[in-house]
Each structure stands twice: as structure tokens, then as C-alpha cells.
Structure 1
Amino acid sequence: MDLRRSRRGIEQIGEGLGTLDREVFEAIAESPSPLLDSFMPRLTRAADHSKLWFALAAAIGAVGSTSAKRGAARGVATLAVTSLVTNQVAKRVWKRQRPNYTTVPLIRRSRRMPTSNSLPSGHSASAAAFAVGVGLESPSVGLGLALLAGLVGISRVATGAHYPGDVLAGFGVGAAVAVLGGRIVPPIVEAKLPTADPLRVETPERPDGAGVVLVINPSSGSGTGARVIDEVKESLPEAEIIELDGDDDIGAVLRDAAARAEVLAVGGGDGTVSCAAGIALEAGKPFAVFPGGTFNHFAKDVGCDTVAKTVAAIRAGSIGCVDVITLNEKDTVINTASIGAYPAFVRTREKLEHKIGKPLAGAYAIFHTLRREAPVRIAYDNKELQTSLFFLGNSVYLPSGFAPSRRSRMDDGLIDVRILETGRPFATLRLVTSLALGRLVRSPLYHEMRVPEFQFKSLDGPTALAHDGEVELHLDEAHFKVNYRGLPVFRPLP
């Protein structure tokens, strides 16, 4: 008896909601509105076959931010899955006839009324799927798209294609697929590290560059060095400029310059900058770097990505201290160090990432690298493992995973270590799959640590270690230690 009453109560609730749904539809259909008559049919036609969302995805891909582009890709993928679920599953499970559209003004009706089941609304499901998918990666863009998705849902009722309940059900299906997709392939959350005030060093202003000795190769950076020389001569006329040629011993020239300089400045690739930074430390001289190489990673990360910014810092006496890493107590690392095939991995990834996107490019680069390159066995922290890809950075790089690209600061006192372990069964397949699905940081084959000191030993004899892009050493053991805020550098400061 109680079961019958419960079923009867549920049936009455369903009947009441159905009646309300029809009454709301009729109220909207019978409402005279020039806005509904002119705008809603155009909007619903634009959303036919998801044309509106594909066009917006293309626009976001062309001009959007990195997170918005990721969101557009996620939105399109979510939309595709949602369309399949809605049309092949949901509409066959929940059978409901289309509303009687004869009450809808002729000018407002859809040109071709659909004949499939009414529940749920496919247009609404696709709209919600795209908006929520984009919003998982870029909330600000997703909010605007959610408002547009809501209007698309209203257009389906206004044109007589669906009841309001169909639209709500469609929104629910699309949002559920997007959220489930976010659980399977988590969105990338941009890490924000705690910040502290920079350590400033008092130094005199040098409006004309007096006391500055600049060592630079005019041919560095495919001729960029020559342009740097011209700008420095014009902006800092009292600076001494030493032009290198191919026969010079760079280390000897830099040591000679540091002996008489009040400020040691350098222009060139990151390998040259790394050598100069170590010599500036030895001599106890403040350091200045001009972007005269090809990539200029160190110069960019200290805020001196143009000659004008370095010149302005020297003129104003603006110095902030940054970390450097000492390697085996004699070499200096300013950016990164690696063993195994990491440089080859980076070259392969960068060649493809603008064509197929960074996740797929990274997955292919890992597969290509691990298949071709010989692994290295190392020991550290009481463990032994085999690796072909090992990355070590001066200060913490972002984002997490095996595509570190930038530093938000260079004085955090930490070494960023990332290792892909390749000695386990099916390691290559597991790593490629994890990277393609955006789950590499959760893989047991991926090791990431942030420490003030790191040491490893090569178990099979000396192994090649590259640092700062150019210098290659062969070592049995490597000991890295942070020199916390050890290098005073002319740089813009807040």
C-alpha cells in the first residue's frame, strides 16, 4: 500500500512538472516580441550542427590566451562526445514528442522542424558542453560562453523546437559530460608560487655607463650582438666594450675584464652568460646581461629582454640578487642542466608544438626520444633508476610536468628536478599515454622534486651533462647546490 502511494505521488509530481513545462512553453510561444521574432531564429540557426561553437573555437584558437586555446580544444572534444551521447543514447532512452509549434508565430518558427525525440535538447547539450569545457581551462571565457549557451537554449523554446524541460535536460547532459571529462583529463591549473620582496643592493647610478665593461661577440645571435654593441655605444658612451672573435679564450677575456671592471656585463648565448656569471661571482662584481644570443633565457627571466631595459637598470643603479647553482663547486648553472636526451626531446617538441599542440607534440617527442636514445642509470637519495630524460633547473619552473617553460622568480632558493624513469615494463607506452592524457604528473614513472641541494651518481661510468644549452661535461658524479641570492644583477625592480 505504501509503495503504491509513493508511486502515485511520484506520478503526480511528474504530471505537474509536465503541465508546468507546457504552460511555460505556451506562454513564451504566445508572447508578442519583435526581439524574439528577429533574434532567436538567427541564433538557433547559427547553432545548427554546432557551427556557432566551431567558429568560436577557431576564433579563440587564433587570438586567445594559452589557457583559452586549451579550453577551446577541450570544448570541441567535449561537444563531440556530448553530441554522440545525446543523439545515440539519451534521445532513445527518453522518448518525448515535440511541442505543438502551431502556437508559435510563423516568423519565429524554425525553417525545418526536427522530427527526433524532444528530450533532451541537442542544441542545449552541445552549448553547455562547449561552454563548460572552455570554462574548465579558462573561467573568464567560459562565463561569457555560458551566457551565450543560455540564449541558445532559450532560442530553442522561442522557435517552438523544444519544451523548457528539454533545454534544462540538455544543459544537464552537456555539463555532466564536460565535468566527467575534467575528471578523466584534469584541466591544467597554473601554479602561483608564494612571492617575497626582492633583495636589493645599493649601488651608484651610472647614467653614462662609467665602470661598465661589456664582453660581447658581434656575431652572436645571428648578428644580434652587433646591434647590441651599437645601442650600448649610443646609450652608455663611457662603457668599455670588448668584442670577441672566434679565436679568443672567452674565460680568459672575461676574467681580465672582471679584474678592472666595476660592473661586468656580457652579451651572448646562455652558455657565455653562464660562464660570465660564474666569473662575476668569483670577482665579487655586480653583473649585467644584454640579450645578445638566440634564446636569451636568463636575460628574459631577470626582466632584461631588451637592451633598453638593461641600460635603464644600469643608469638607475637598480640591482636585485638572484640564485645561481654551483656544480661540483666549480661550474655555474644559471638556467638548466640535463643528462640523457633531454635537449633532443626539447628540439623535437618545439618543432611540432605549433602544428599539433604541446600535449601531442610532447607525447610524440617522448616516444621518439625514448625509442632512439640510450638510457642512463643513476643513483640518488638511496634509490637507483634508469632514465633517458632528466631536467634540473635553477629556481622553480612552470608548469609542472615535462614541459617546463618559464620561471616566475629567480630567488626562491630551490633546485627544480624532474626525471622520467624508463627502466620499468612498458615504460615508454605508459609515459606517452600519461602525457597525451595530461596525467604525467600522476604517473609513478615521473619524479619531480624541489630541493636546495641535489646529487646523483652515474652507475655505468661518466655520462654527458649539458648545462645552459651549450656546455657539455662528462661526469661520474654531479653535486648541485643553490647559491641563494648570490649573484647581484642589474634588472628592473618593482
Structure 2
Amino acid sequence: MTPAELSPTPSEAAPQAHAPRTIAADAPFFIVINAGSGRKQNDETRAALERMLGEAGRKFEIRLVDNPAELADTAAQAVRDAKAQNGVVVGAGGDGTLCAVAGAVLGSGCPFAVLPRGTFNYFSRDHGVPSDPAESIALLLSARAHPVQVGFVNDRMFLVNASLGLYPKLLEDRELYKQQFGRSRLIALWSAAVTLLRRHRHLRLHIEHDGTMQEIRTSTLFVGNNRLQLEQIGMAEAPLLERGLLAAIAPRAVGRLAQIGITLRGATGRMSDADNVVSFAFKHITVTHPSKRRRLVKIATDGEVTWMNMPLDFRIAPEPLYLLKPEADVANANRS
């Protein structure tokens, strides 16, 4: 299977036309904060919000979530309150937290904003939202809500990526290392190297796309919805996300040393040069096991791991998420 075999048709590549929305000058903010980032950071965020939004005379409410199991319910209540008061729902945390809050916002008609507080912050960085707390809070007061695309795997939404196979295992191991040694990019990269050195099994997958079916053997299927992340690993499909498509990456079944070689190419921005990598852009694919039986598989979406039954439908959401973000020229300057 090659990019040419699974290239997007003209109808797939046409972007949806949605205009930005201006936020009312008195719109209140309903802010959902993941307490897992630490008390000190929470206190600093609260203090900055009280100072900056208070000086601007803007109403806001903070919903601090101590138990991750309560995040979805807290986000849903924030959306209900925002709808009743024509407000904005704000997620504060890493990509997983932002995805959970955005999942409640999508389809509600409410605008969405983010205060980045994670390790990698791919979603916010890709859309030009500053990582500096003061700058991201200031953006709440000035930005318009721009449409951004989100993806789904079955009924689960993702902002950045979704995957099965080796990649969810990498994420699980990374969390264990973070619990022992702290949260940093260096710890994340070290845990990935250790995981790649272990034995791992390959998947046999059938991928249906645009009326064709192809079988691949791979260690992992990675579906990206983040141009910055795809550019960092050197994928040629990265620009196609702006045409309303997702990008899939699947390294062919190879040994551990070859797998590490592919990973090193990705780390140096040369993944597309690897001979043993299948990649293509799409709007919708269905992934099944050759046996056609309902199989339970581990899926990762924006860093959160869960179980799903095959078949797996990866697709673009029919409507966008309206995100408070800088205008295009400023957003491009902030992407790094």
C-alpha cells in the first residue's frame, strides 16, 4: 500500500467553509482545570486568572478536577452553564485534558479555549496558542473563535492523534516512568527507547479506504490530526491536514533494530525517507482484523489509553470545533 494507492479524491480534499466567530465582550469563561498538574501550578493559574480577567471586568468560574474520572462530567456541566450564559468553555491541562473538555464542547455551539499545561502541548502549539500563562489568558480577551478539525475513532474524539499497537504501549510505559521520575520530555524519550528495545508483536490489519481493501503487517497504526507533530517527524502528508484530511502512518513489520532505526528517523524529522513506512492521507478508513471477528484492541487517543472493539472507523468529524486562537499570521509565528 502506497500513498498513491490511498491518495485523497478531489471530493475528500475539499475543505469545509466555516467563518470565524467574534466573542461577545462580556462573555463569561467557564474554566475546567486538571488538578493533576500540581497545586503550585493551579494556584499560579488561579492567581493569574483573577488578576487579568478581574482587571478586564470579565466574569469567570473555575472548575478544579481532582479525580480524572470526574473530568467528563465536570466538562459537560461547564458546557451547560456556558450555553445558558452565552459563555466560553476553557480547558486547562495537557492534550488529554483538552481533548476530554473539547469532547463535551463539540456540537454544543459554545466556543472553546485552552490554557496549555502539558508536557508537549501539541494541540495548542499547532494553533498558535502561547504556552506562557499570561499570554494565553490575554488571548481569551482578544481572540476570535476559529474552526478547527477534530478526528474520531468510533465514538471517541481526538484532537492530536489516535493509534493502536505499539504506540499505546509506549504511552503506558511513559506514564509509569513519569510517576517514578517526574514529567519531562527527556523522561518521555527515555521511556520510549526502553520500550522499543523490548520484544513486541505485529498486527495484521485490513484497511478499507475509498472502496479498496489492503492488508498490512505493522507494529502500530498511528493516525495524526496535528500538522506540527507530523512535520516534526518529517511526514509529507502534514500539509494535507489543512485540506480536511487525516494522516495515517504504519511501519511495516520489521525487527527491533529496524524499528529503532525508523524511530530515529522520526526523531530527526526524516520519517518519510524510511523504506519500511506506509503513509497516506484520508477522510475515512475502516480497520478490521483479517479474521473478521470482533476483537478487543487497545487504543490511544491524545495520550489516553482505552479498549475498543473492532472494526475501527477513523474519520473527520462532520463539524468543526470553534477554538479561540490567534489570527493565521500570529498563529504561524507561535508554532515551534
State TM-score, norm by structure 2.
0.71
Deviation at 1:253, TM superposition (A): 1.4
Alpha-carbon deviations, 1:40-62, whole Å to 9, x = none?
Answer: xxxxxxxxxxxxxxxxxxxxxxx
| Percent of residue pairs identical | 25
Corresponding residue pairs, total: 283
CA deviation string 1:56-101 (max 9, x = no partner): xxxxxxxxxxxxxxxxxxxxxxxxxxxxxxxxxxxxxxxxxxxxxx
Aligned equivalent of 1:306: 132
2:219 match: secondary structure = strand
Q: State yes or no: 1:201 paired with 2:20.
A: yes
Match of 1:474 among 293, 297, 308: 308
Once the two structures are superposed, the pairs formed by residues 161-240 of structure 1 within 5 Å of their partners are: 200-206=19-25, 210-220=27-37, 223-237=40-54, 238-240=59-61
Residue in structure 2 matched with residue 324 of structure 1 by the alignment: 150
What is the distance in 2 between the residues matched to 1:409 and 1:319? 22
Q: 1:451 aligns with which of 282, 286, 304?
A: 282
Any conservation in 1 of the 2:161–2:226 contact (CA below 8 Å)? no
1:60-459 residue pairs with structure 2 within 5 A?
200-206=19-25, 210-220=27-37, 223-237=40-54, 238-246=59-67, 249-261=70-82, 262-304=87-129, 305-328=131-154, 330-344=155-169, 351=186, 365=193, 369=196, 371-381=198-208, 382-397=213-228, 411-422=242-253, 427-428=255-256, 430-432=258-260, 441-459=272-290
User: Contact 1:395 / 1:409 at 8 angstroms: preserved in 2?
Assistant: no
Deviations 1:229-256 (A, max 9, x none): 2211211131111122227621111111
Structure 1 runs, 4 residues or longer, greater than 6 Å off? 352-355, 407-410, 434-439
Q: Would you say 1:486 and 2:320 are equivalent positions?
A: yes
1:165 — aligned with what? none
Give the Å deviation of 1:410. Answer: 6.6
Conserved? CA contact 2:98–2:114, under 8 Å: yes
Distance in 2 between the 1:234 and 1:467 partners? Answer: 34
For the structure 1 residues 397 and 302, does the alpha-carbon distance in structure 2 shift closer, same or farther, using more than 3 Å as the test?
Answer: closer
Cα gap change, 1:462 to 1:226, in 2 (>3 Å): same
Distance, in Å, in 1 between the alignment partners of 2:94 and 2:71 is: 12
Structure 1 residues 327 and 225, CA gap change in structure 2 (3 angstroms): farther
Residue 204 of structure 1 aligns to which amino acid in structure 2?
I
1:290 is displaced (CA, Å) by: 0.7
Question: Residues 241, 302 of structure 1: CA spacing in aligned structure 2 closer, same or farther, 3 A cutoff?
Answer: same
Of 284, 288, 299, 1:465 maps to: 299
Per the TM alignment, residue 219 of structure 1 is displaced from its structure 2 partner at its CA by 3.8
Larger Rg: 1
**Aligned in 2, Cα 1:230/1:370: closer, same or farther, shift over 3 Å?**
same
RMSD: 3.7
Distance 1:396 1:484 in 2: 19
Unaligned runs of 5+ in 1: 1-195, 356-360
Is the Cα–Cα contact under 8 Å of residues 401 and 440 in structure 1 kept in the other structure?
no
If each structure's strand is expressed as a fraction of its own residues, which one has the higher value? 2
Higher relative contact order (CA 8 A, sep 6+): 2
Counterpart amino acid of 1:333?
F
> 2: distance between equivalents of 1:335 and 1:436?
21
| Paired residue type of 2:251 | L
CA shift in 2, pair 1:354/1:338, >3 Å: closer
List per-residue Cα deviations over 1:281-337 (Å, max 9, x = no partner): 132211011113333221222222233333233212422111101221x22110111
**TM-score scaled by structure 1?**
0.50
Q: Which has the higher helix share?
A: 1
Q: Deviations over 1:145-188 (max 9, x none)?
A: xxxxxxxxxxxxxxxxxxxxxxxxxxxxxxxxxxxxxxxxxxxx
Find the aligned partners of 1:286 and 1:369 in 2 and give their Cα distance: 40
Q: Distance in 1 between matches of 2:42 and 2:19?
A: 29
